[in-house]
Structure 1
Amino acid sequence: MTEDLDALAVQLDREHVFHSWSAQAHLNLPVIAGGSGTVVWDHAGNRMLDFSSQMVNINIGHQHPAVIAGIQAQAAELATIGPPTSNLARGRAAQRILSKAPEGFRKVFFTNGGADAIENAIRMARLHTGRDTVLSTYRSYHGNTGAAIVATGDWRRMPNQYARGHVHFFGPYLYRSEFWAATPEEESERALHHLERVIQAEGPGTIAALLLESVPGTAGILLPPPGYLAGVRALADKYGIVLILDEVMAGFGRTGYWFAFQGYDVVPDLITFAKGVNSGYVPVGGVIISADIAATFDERVFPGGLTYSGHPLAAASIVASIDAMTDEGIVENAARVGAEAIGPGLRELAEKHPLIGEVRGEGVFWAMELVADRDTREPVGADVIARLKRDLISRGLLPFTAENRIHVVPPCVVTDAEVAQAMAIYDEALTAVESGVR
Structure 2
Amino acid sequence: MKPLPPLTADMDVPSLNQWLCNLAELAVAAVHPDNLMPALVPAALPEPGRRTLVVGAGKASAAMAAALERAWLECYPGADIEGLVVTRYGHGAHCAHIEVLEAAHPMPDKLGEQAARRMLNAVAGFSEEDVVIALISGGGSALMSLPAPGLTLAQKQSINRALLRSGAPIRDINTVRRHLSAIKGGRLAAAAHPARVITYLISDVPGDDPTLIASGPTLPDTSTPADALAILEHYGIDIPAQVRAHLQAANTAPDPADAEFSGDRAVMLAKAADALEAARDVAAAVGVEVRVLGDNLEGEARELGASHAALALLSQQQAAQPLLILSGGETSVTVTGNGRGGRNVEYLLGMFSALEGAPGIYGLAIDTDGIDGSEDNAGACFSPQDWQKARAQGLSPENYLSNNDAYSFFAELGNLIVTGPTRTNVNDFRAILVLPEK
TM-score range, shorter chain: 0.3 to 0.5
Structure showing the higher helix proportion among its residues: 1
TM-score by length of 1: 0.39
